[in-house]
Amino acid sequence: MERLDRFMARANAAYYATHDPFADFTTAPEIAQAFGEVLGAWAAITWQLMGRPSPFILAEAGPGRGTLMADAQRALARVAPDVVAAQRLILVETSPRLREVQAAALPHATHVDTIEAIPPGPLILLANEFLDALPIRQLVRRGAGWRERWVAGGTFIEQPSDLAAAAAAEGAVVEICESARAIATQLGARIAREGGAALVLDYGPAASAPGDSLQALRAGQRADPLADPGAADLTAHVDFAALAEAARSAGAATQGPEAQGLLLARLGLFQRTDRLARGLPPRQAAALLDAARRLAEPDQMGRLFKALAICHPCLPTLAGFET
Ligand code: SAH
């Protein structure tokens, strides 16, 4: 018998070490190159607002195939070469297989295992679909208290819990991601001390709400999260309100969460897509526009996905967070 968070950590470590996750799911940077390009532009604007520190750390957590950062680097080299000259590129990745793929895409980057291991200095950090893979605990409301879900033989078993949450209806499930909160606390403390901003993009509601969001994807299909650990990618909704609170308690400011679609539109996703489509055969141009819409339309990834910025309290409104 294993507590759910330990089961999920073990299953995902095995999964990322042995699978090409991108055979099972796709992510925004793999859908459209304009995604990484406009996030590169966001980093350049943030660097200006920070007072153009040189050197500074440009980091990405969980870079997958390295596509987002490679697209961002290409855009930066074109429109903001000062940023490229000042950056020290750091990738936070635990999977040896993905490290190899990332090193091929970004030969000038250095790998570290954890966010804590990022070298000191002013920081700009990007993280897309990183926190949703971190292990969660699930509490179940029983009577006037809470029980906790453990996993045994492919099913849940409820055990006494040392955690509690705000009162909820009988049987309601409340999720807690301690590692995501710890990361928000670390980032908040570091950014408050040394300056900078982190942009976290992931899926989840803007306000904390009860509900079981654990899901498994295997070969693009929903699968049973408890069956066959290591064979499927396990994720859960990110609790943005809890992250923002953790970062602020550590001394940082936060902006958002904002709907991904609004952020991307404000950063010029569609203008960039039009530019890329110019001169292409109509079918290819239409495919580019479709991809951009998939990222930004409210009924696709535009609303469920959110962006949260954790930043130094002295920074003004960051690009994309204007209300
Ligand atoms: N950001 C990428 C990939 C998302 S998949 C994209 O948008 O395409 C999640 C990524 O986080 C993978 O690179 C995975 O290996 C990495 N990862 C998962 N858990 C991690 C952990 N605890 N520490 C560091 N990296 C982790």
For the chain, what is the domain count? 1
What residue's CA is closest to ligand 1, atom 24?
A: 93
Task: Round to whole Å and give the CA distance between 79 and 62.
Answer: 25
- pLDDT, tens digit, for every residue of 246-274? 999 999 999 999 999 999 999 999 999 99
- pLDDT, tens digit, for every residue of 1-24? 999 999 999 999 999 888 887 877
Closest to 195 measured CA to CA, from 302, 298, 52: 52
According to DSSP, the residues that pair with 246 across neighbouring strands are none
Query: What range defines the domain where residue 266 resides?
Result: 24-133+177-209+236-311
**Is residue 230 domain-resident?**
no
**Is residue 9 domain-resident?**
no
CATH of the domain at 195: 3.40.50.150
The predicted model scores a pTM of 0.96
95, 116, 177, 233, best to mutate for ligand 1 pocket (most atoms within 8 Å of CB): 95
Burial class of residue 179 (count of CB atoms within 10 Å of its CB; 0-12, 13-18, 19+): middle
**Is residue 111 domain-resident?**
yes
> Residue 155 contacts by C-beta under 8 Å, 6 or more apart in sequence?
226
Q: pLDDT band for position 209 (50/70/90)?
A: confident
Q: DSSP letter string over 249-300?
A: HTT-EEEEEEEHHHHHHHTTHHHHHHHHHTTS-HHHHHHHHHHHHHHH-III
**Is residue 285 domain-resident?**
yes
**Is residue 294 domain-resident?**
yes
- Look up residue 289 and give its two tokens: 């526009």
Q: What is the pLDDT of residue 323?
A: 86
When pLDDT is averaged across residues 36-49 and rounded to a whole number, the result is: 98
Q: What is the pLDDT of residue 138?
A: 98
Residue 208: pLDDT above 90? no
Q: Is the CB of 94 under 6 A from ligand 1?
A: yes
